[in-house]
């Protein structure tokens, strides 16, 4: 007769976590490690409509719908930790969250710190007021000597600083890069005349023009139109990456991914999947 080992109370949380992982494994063929059993704890900076923002005291947006759908596929309950964008990667590296779900643009600097699971392709646009007093015509030399408002730490800040260097290199007046905490505050700065233009993602511009009609317009064509955004996981966390990829694959197959794109009125070109 085999004697079973005696279990201590300390063993119970570990067993629960293992059982939860096995349940997820049955659903997706991958058992993603999570900080809290049964939960998918994610970091987000809810100031970037239409991806993540607050309405009526609740988180909403494309990314929020996306992670809720992913949670169902993984049999995990999504739990949001809303924080400043600059704190997202440190929170992930400090194992306070399982992943970052915050429309994070993928670039080399970030890819050196985290692993990405891409889920969307987006572009960017220059936005001005309807009267456009400074005659900005797009992402061109008309920006030289002008003030461009961007979200602090966002990819748009990188683009604006590149334009500043380009103008300086051509012997023209520099671009004054005005960094603000949210996309909403950049739009307000433009409306109040403290900035001459803003840079924003194409989906963000669609949201802005819909919410505040007869105030803003785009200037020039879309730029950097093949920029990828992704969910971020800790470096080397292949189990979590595979689980997210598997959930996305199922969502594409059953139409959920397309439905979320259509709900938020994103152009079809944002899709990374056939």
Q: Name the 3-class secondary structure at 160.
A: helix
Q: Residue 244 has which token pair?
A: 């997210």
Q: Going from the N-terminus, what domains does the chain have, and what CATH number goes with each?
A: 13-120+229-270 (3.40.190.10), 123-226 (3.40.190.10)
pTM summary value: 0.74
Q: Show Cβ contacts of residue 167 under 8 Å, excluding neighbours closer than 6 positions.
A: 141, 143, 144, 145, 173, 174, 175
The answer to whether the beta carbons of residues 146 and 230 sit under 8 Å apart is: no
Which of the pair, 193 or 183, is modelled with greater confidence? 193
Pairing of the two strands 39-44 and 77-82: parallel
Mean pLDDT of 89-104: 97
Quote the pLDDT of residue 10. 36
Q: What is the pLDDT of residues 136-191, one digit of tens each?
A: 999 999 999 999 999 988 889 999 999 999 999 999 999 999 999 888 899 999 99
DSSP string, 175-219: PEEEEESSHHHHHHHHHTTS-SEEEEEHHHHHHHHHHSTTTEEEE
Quote the pLDDT of residue 15. 35
What is the Cα Rg of the chain in Å? 22
The answer to whether the beta carbons of residues 84 and 92 sit under 8 Å apart is: no
Residue with tokens 């008309």: 142
By percentage, how much of the chain surpasses pLDDT 90?
74
Quote the pLDDT of residue 104. 94
Q: What is the pLDDT of residues 25-78, one digit of tens each?
A: 434 555 688 999 999 999 999 988 899 999 999 999 999 999 999 999 999 999
Quote the pLDDT of residue 225. 83
The answer to whether the beta carbons of residues 81 and 43 sit under 8 Å apart is: yes
């Amino acid at each position: 007769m085999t004697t079973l080992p005696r279990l201590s109370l300390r063993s119970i949380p570990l067993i629960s976590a293992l059982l939860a992982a096995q349940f997820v494994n049955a659903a997706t063929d991958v058992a993603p490690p999570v900080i809290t059993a049964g939960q998918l704890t994610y970091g987000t900076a809810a100031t970037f409509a239409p991806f993540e923002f607050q309405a009526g005291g609740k988180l909403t947006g494309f990314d929020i719908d996306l992670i809720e759908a992913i949670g169902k596929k993984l049999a995990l309950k999504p739990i949001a930790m809303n924080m400043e964008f600059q704190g997202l990667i440190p929170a992930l590296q400090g194992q306070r969250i399982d992943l970052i779900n915050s429309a994070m643009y993928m670039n080399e600097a970030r890819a050196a710190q985290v692993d990405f699971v891409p889920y969307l392709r987006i572009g960017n646009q220059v936005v001005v007021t309807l009267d456009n007093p400074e005659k900005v015509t797009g992402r061109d030399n008309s920006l030289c000597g002008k003030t461009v408002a961007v979200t602090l730490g966002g990819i748009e800040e990188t683009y604006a600083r590149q334009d500043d260097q380009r103008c300086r290199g051509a012997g023209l007046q520099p671009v004054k890069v005005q960094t603000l905490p949210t996309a909403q505050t950049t739009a307000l700065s433009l409306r109040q005349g403290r900035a001459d233009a803003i840079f924003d993602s194409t989906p963000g511009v669609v949201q802005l023009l819909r919410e505040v009609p007869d105030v803003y317009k785009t200037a020039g064509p879309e730029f950097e139109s093949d920029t990828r955004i992704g969910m971020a996981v800790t470096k080397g966390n292949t189990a979590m990456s595979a689980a997210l990829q598997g959930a996305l694959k199922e969502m594409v197959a059953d139409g959920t991914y397309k439905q979320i794109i259509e709900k938020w009125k994103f152009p079809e070109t944002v899709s990374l999947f056939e």
